């Protein structure tokens, strides 16, 4: 494997997660991203109080993402073999933290009580 291409990454992720789960996760990420952009454009700013509340869920998202990948790939923490595995685990945690933070912000923006706004 001399080159790392986008197609190769897609093939690896489809093999790891299965095509159905992988593309469901991709569709969910796209939907949440579009919802986040909608909330930002609608509010024309990042609401600090909502962002702080959303950031409180980041550690939960990190742990959940790591446990989810460990479960789906049928591996455990004893299978971590070297620095690359640790880096991958950290990146999975960061992705889970960011993902849950964005999701929590979107949920607050769409369904939360918007003080000062006429409903």
Cβ atoms of 21 and 91 closer than 8 Å:
no
Q: What is the pLDDT of residue 119?
A: 43
- Structure pTM? 0.80
Residue 48 lies in a domain: yes
Residue 32 lies in a domain: yes
Q: Report the candidate in 103, 111, 115 with the shortest Cα–Cα distance to residue 29.
A: 103
Q: What is the pLDDT of residue 2?
A: 74
Q: Report the candidate in 57, 50, 54 with the shortest Cα–Cα distance to residue 117.
A: 50
Residue 1 lies in a domain: no
Q: What is the domain range of residue 58?
A: 6-111
Tokens of 93: 């945690």
Tokens of 53: 């509340």
Residue 118 lies in a domain: no
pLDDT bracket for residue 98 (50, 70, 90) = very high
Residue 66 lies in a domain: yes
Over range 82-98, report the average pLDDT.
90
Residue 58 lies in a domain: yes
Residue 116 lies in a domain: no
Cβ atoms of 63 and 93 closer than 8 Å:
yes
Domains in the chain: how many in total? 1
Residue 117 lies in a domain: no
Dihedral sign for Cα atoms in the order 2, 4, 5, 11: positive
């Amino acid at each position: 494997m001399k080159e790392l291409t986008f197609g190769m990454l897609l093939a690896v992720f489809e093999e790891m997660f299965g095509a159905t789960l992988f593309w469901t996760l991709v569709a969910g990420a796209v939907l949440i991203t579009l919802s986040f952009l909608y909330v930002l454009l609608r509010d024309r700013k990042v609401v600090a109080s909502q962002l702080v509340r959303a950031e409180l869920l980041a550690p939960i998202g990190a742990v959940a993402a790591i446990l989810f990948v460990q479960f789906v790939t049928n591996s455990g923490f004893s299978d971590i073999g070297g620095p690359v595995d640790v880096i991958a685990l950290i990146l999975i945690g960061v992705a889970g933290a960011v993902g849950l933070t964005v999701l929590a912000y979107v949920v607050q923006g769409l369904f939360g009580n918007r003080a000062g706004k006429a409903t």
